[in-house]
Amino acid sequence: MKYIEKHPYVFLGLCALVLFLAANSFLAITDSSESNYALTAKEMVLSGDWLSPQIYGHYWYDKPIFYYWELALSFSLFGFTEFAARLPSALMGTAGVLFTYWFTARVYGRSLAFSAAIILMTSVECWLLSKAVITDATLFLFMSACLAFFYLGYTENRRWYWAAYVMAALAVLTKGPVGLALPALAALIFLIMRHDLKELFHVHLLSGMLLFFVIAGLWYGFMYKVHGYDFLLNFFGVHNFLRATVPEHGGKNLWYFYIIIFFVGFAPWSFTWPWALWKYRKERRMPFAGSDSCALLLALYAAVTFIFFTIVATKYTTYTYPALFSLSILSAGMLQHFHLPVRKIALAGGVLYTVLAFTAAPPIMLHQSGKDIGQTLARMDTDNAAICFYKGYSTSAVFYSGKTIYRAVPSDELEKLQPGKMDWNAKNVMPMASIDTLMQENQRLIIIDQKHDNTVASRYYALYGQMPDYISLPGNTTIWSADRTTP
């Protein structure tokens, strides 16, 4: 215990790394979010173009550049492996835990800071996203630091404001405008509630925004200069404006969606909140004193995050993850007040997560991945063969195989699915062709059928009078191989 008290950063850092790195080499890249990031970074390394993201050989404007740089650097050092793909999130997740400790210790003291850090580390969503091949662990760190540095600028030294602008720029380079919008909105409401809008004259707005645009604007300016309207349409139009106004997944557009995500993502700690608030009500006092300006800012930031994404049309389970910075610190304060065994709960959670990482996670993630398909294709003789998916598509199969794979669709649907307008077809950047064209124009054809219904094989037999050979894979997947160059 004395060593932990003397070296909290070492202890927390090692615990986080063990938790976030455990079994990563056994966790397949899943479809579709993870595989999009992984394949884009892989093509970045192979093409040597580290400024313009591309996927399937086409420029890709889904996200800004920073996370792709992290992935590409990891791939360059460790190869195109699951470990390399998951390493950036593990490191940034660890950095997020350590930053939470640093900031909380500065404001509330080391005891509460330690609780806040282990609460964050052992929340379900932090564990998952610190192992996932997506942007959220990186975004969490930069947005949390932006908010924290604003508070330190407000309460300690206004030089911290410049650090907030730097973090905002990095957040915008990671995810887009939301990286600045949410911390800034929370800070503005905070100043309004404090009756202190005059502080806006002291936040170094002009010099800070100049610093912001120098850091973030260089890449955005480069992309506009090189790619012009196509970049504006797809990045700002489709992946920001359209995402905010038109639901990408209609079934998730529920007003209570993020309430569910709070209880699941912040578990086990989320389930202490109703009990703690009930206890505070019995004591007829608020969880934090009215003069606690930090608690006010943290609460506003969490509220702004949840309300903003509830209003936004497209719902994703990860969108409200930045709010866990606030929730972890606020939870630490509440649970410390009631003397709950935070460390014992965290230890049990950490052990459970590690066991799950080695036992349950690998088969679950393999089921959500095209790894088996990709590795099978990599072993096959595919020279002069067109390869396609029929009734579905797996980007991870492209990542693992290194092959060009078409998405085969019925002829009457091909034109409807083409990208080029401000709609969700902009995501259809994989090679596409009609199944009839592929059958007619290719002597050798490999068809991946994830439904295992034999429809496509029967169609081929009707055309050419021969049944393709096949390989059966787990999960009802069949790889049909047709070769008209041999009798």
Q: Which helix (H) or strand (E) holds 471?
A: strand 469-473
Q: Which two tokens stand for residue 265?
A: 């993502």
DSSP 8-state class, residue 58: E
What residues contact 174, with CB distance under 8 A and at least 6 apart? Answer: 63, 64, 66, 67, 135, 138, 139, 142
Answer whether residue 368 shows pLDDT above 90: yes
Residue 241 is which amino acid?
Answer: F
> pLDDT class for 211, splitting at 50, 70, 90?
very high
Dump pLDDT digits (tens) for 19-29.
999 999 999 99
For residue 65, give the 3-state DSSP assignment. coil
pLDDT of residue 251: 61
CA atoms of 152 and 159, how far apart (whole Å): 9
Dump pLDDT digits (tens) for 126-166.
999 999 999 999 999 999 999 999 999 999 999 999 999 99
CA atoms of 309 and 319, how far apart (whole Å): 7
Phi, psi values for residue 409, rounded to 5°: -135, 160
Beta strand pairing call for 469-473 and 477-483: antiparallel
Q: 376, 399, 377: which is closest to 387 by C-alpha? A: 377
Cα torsion angle, 105, 108, 110, 111, sign? negative
Q: Which two tokens stand for residue 453?
A: 């219904």
Dump pLDDT digits (tens) for 162-195.
999 999 999 999 999 999 999 999 999 999 999 9
Residue 32 or residue 116, greater confidence: 116
Q: 170, 214, 211, 161: which is closest to 191 by C-alpha? A: 161
Residue 482 is which amino acid?
Answer: A
pLDDT of residue 415: 87
Mean pLDDT of 438-454: 87
Q: Give the distance from CA 149 to its chain's centroid.
A: 23
What residues contact 299, with CB distance under 8 A and at least 6 apart? Answer: 326, 330
pLDDT of residue 165: 99
What residues contact 470, with CB distance under 8 A and at least 6 apart? Answer: 457, 478, 479, 480, 481
pLDDT of residue 458: 85
Q: Which two tokens stand for residue 120?
A: 């964050």
Most confident of 239-243, 314-318, 360-364, 453-457: 360-364
Answer whether residue 86 shows pLDDT above 80: yes
CA atoms of 4 and 287, how far apart (whole Å): 28
